[in-house]
């Protein structure tokens, strides 16, 4: 009869320990699987409740102030009033927007005047001009309605949307120029029927010498509910 040597005993002990450990792990996995609930492929998904809009303006008047960096010689500060009609909470027609632009000449223009240097514009037939009025109508599409927690204390309701309008830029000397204006805007509700509005619009127009060019208008304003036209509440849903 052959005698077991020391290395053979070592191999036997190692196999026994490894098999025992595997059995314990398998038993633990079975216990965990029995405790956790089993899901079938035909089980319905867990329902998730999404709250609708609690802040909604369906007819609105707004007033805003903006900033237009027209060129190196003029800076504009438009004061704008507008009326909007919302067919849906996410789709509106800005019926009319009218801006009066308070223009301010830059220091550079004053310096050239003091030096007696004549300055001409590349466009507008050489006239250094600026928009005096902006008259627009357009559509607003608002796909995003959000709720944010401000400083972990205050719930803020907001919307983010896109704007596309057509109208006229009324320049001080050149006169009316047709324009098309894409833009983006956001509303932050201060009550269910009023909001602070931030906007950015780019007015594109055609100049006979420069071709397609544009000016930027960025501003902030206040918007509130205004029942100019009667409508049924059921039509808002």
- pLDDT band for 18, please (50, 70, 90 cuts): very low
pLDDT at 232 over 90: no
pLDDT at 231 over 70: no
Q: For residue 236, what pLDDT is reported? A: 44
> For position 88, which CATH number holds?
2.40.160.20
Q: For residue 185, what pLDDT is reported? A: 95
Q: Are residues 158 and 118 part of one domain?
A: yes
Q: Are residues 176 and 89 part of one domain?
A: yes
**25's tokens:** 């792990």
Q: Are 199 and 216 in contact (CB under 8 A)?
A: no
Q: Determine, yes or no, domain membership for 142.
A: yes
Q: Determine, yes or no, domain membership for 49.
A: no
Better-predicted residue by pLDDT, 142 or 8: 142
Q: For residue 126, what pLDDT is reported? A: 59
Domain that holds residue 222: 59-236
End-to-end alpha carbon distance in the chain? 94
Measure the CA angle with vertex 213, ends 212 and 217; round to 5°.
140
Q: Beta strands 194-207 and 176-191: pairing type? A: antiparallel
Q: Are residues 63 and 34 part of one domain?
A: no
Q: Are residues 146 and 218 part of one domain?
A: yes
Least confident segment among 131-140, 148-157, 196-205: 148-157
Query: What are the pLDDT digits (tens) for 24-40?
Result: 444 444 444 455 556 66
Total number of domains constituting the chain: 2
Q: Are 82 and 65 in contact (CB under 8 A)?
A: no
Q: Are residues 220 and 135 part of one domain?
A: yes
Q: For residue 120, what pLDDT is reported? A: 55
Better-predicted residue by pLDDT, 87 or 104: 87
Q: Are residues 193 and 94 part of one domain?
A: yes
Query: What are the pLDDT digits (tens) for 120-143?
Result: 555 555 566 788 999 999 999 999
- pLDDT band for 89, please (50, 70, 90 cuts): confident
Q: For residue 75, what pLDDT is reported? A: 82
Q: Determine, yes or no, domain membership for 197.
A: yes
CA distances from 220 to 38, 130, 134, 162, 163 (A): 54, 21, 16, 15, 15
Q: For residue 116, what pLDDT is reported? A: 60
Q: Determine, yes or no, domain membership for 219.
A: yes
Q: Using the structure block, give the residue that is written with the tokens 């190692």.
A: 14
Mean pLDDT of the chain: 76
Q: Are residues 103 and 33 part of one domain?
A: no
DSSP H helices in 36-182 = 107-115
Task: Over range 213-224, report the average pLDDT.
Answer: 92
* Sign, Cα dihedral of 126, 132, 138, 140: positive
**Spatial distance between the Cα atoms of 81 and 83, rounded to a whole number of angstroms:** 7
pLDDT at 161 over 90: yes
Q: For residue 26, what pLDDT is reported? A: 43
Q: For residue 28, what pLDDT is reported? A: 46
Q: Are residues 184 and 67 part of one domain?
A: yes
Task: Over range 202-221, report the average pLDDT.
Answer: 88
Contacts for 167-170 with beta carbons within 8 Å, 24 or more apart? 167/97, 167/134, 167/135, 167/136, 167/137, 167/138, 168/134, 168/135, 168/136, 169/131, 169/133, 169/134, 169/203, 169/205, 169/215, 170/131, 170/132, 170/133, 170/134, 170/135
pLDDT at 163 over 80: yes
């Amino acid at each position: 009869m052959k005698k077991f040597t020391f290395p053979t005993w070592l191999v036997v002990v190692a196999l026994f320990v490894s098999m025992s450990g595997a059995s314990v792990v398998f038993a633990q996995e079975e216990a965990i699987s029995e405790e956790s609930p089993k899901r079938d492929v035909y089980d319905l998904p867990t329902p998730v409740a999404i709250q609708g809009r609690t802040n909604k303006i369906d007819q609105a008047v707004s007033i805003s102030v903006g900033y237009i960096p027209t060129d190196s010689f003029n800076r504009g500060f438009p004061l704008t009033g507008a009326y909007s009609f919302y067919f849906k909470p996410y789709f509106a027609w800005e019926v009319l927007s009218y801006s009066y632009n308070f223009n301010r000449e830059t220091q550079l223009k004053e310096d050239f005047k003091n030096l007696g240097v004549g300055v001409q514009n590349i466009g507008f037939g050489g006239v250094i001009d600026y928009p005096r009025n902006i008259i627009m109508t357009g559509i607003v599409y608002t796909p995003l309605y959000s709720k944010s927690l401000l400083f972990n204390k205050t719930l803020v309701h907001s919307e983010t949307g896109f704007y596309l309008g057509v109208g006229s830029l009324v320049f001080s000397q050149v006169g009316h120029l047709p324009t098309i204006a894409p833009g983006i805007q956001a509303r932050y509700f201060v009550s269910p029927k009023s909001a602070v509005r931030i906007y950015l619009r780019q007015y594109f127009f055609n100049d006979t010498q420069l071709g397609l060019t544009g000016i930027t208008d960025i501003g902030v304003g206040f918007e509130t509910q205004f029942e100019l036209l009667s409508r049924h509440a059921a039509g808002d849903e």
